[in-house]
Structure 1
């Protein structure tokens, strides 16, 4: 299981509930399905999550990339 040391809280749409992201796989799913637009930071975060899921990297790298992409997309609620 690939978990973040600290969860990341995002709010994908104005009407959606906040989502508490503990797992790298959940972050990847949000990047894939729920992100408002394609950006370089989103692509980097997706790549970082996939590297962790393949066992080629560690969760902190994916968390940093996911936070950066969420910040850029203005959906980050904590860090």
Structure 2
């Protein structure tokens, strides 16, 4: 499944100043970060989680989840490079 949920380009995030940057390669990585590291429920986080779940269920393609994750990461101020 990883091949089907992989992002075309990885995204780099840093969830806190005290932790190393993380490279997000696919929908599974993005969903794990949304669940564990972005506890604040916002519309962008919810949209990103929904998009990740839709990709994992085969209902849409990774680029839509990637865009939603980037928006949530920007909002949470954890995006380092897109």
Q: TM-score range by the shorter chain?
A: over 0.9
Measured after TM superposition, the shift of residue 16 of structure 1 is 0.5
- Classify the secondary structure of the residue corresponding to 2:81: coil
Partner residue of 2:79?
76
Moved >6 Å (runs of 4+): none
Partner residue of 2:58?
55
Q: Is the deviation greater in 55-64 or in 35-44?
A: 35-44
Alignment of 1:1-79 (within 5 A): 1=2, 2-79=5-82
- Size of the alignment, in residue pairs? 79
**Structure 1 unaligned blocks of 5 or more:** none
Determine the C-alpha separation between the residues in 2 that align with 1:48 and 1:36.
17
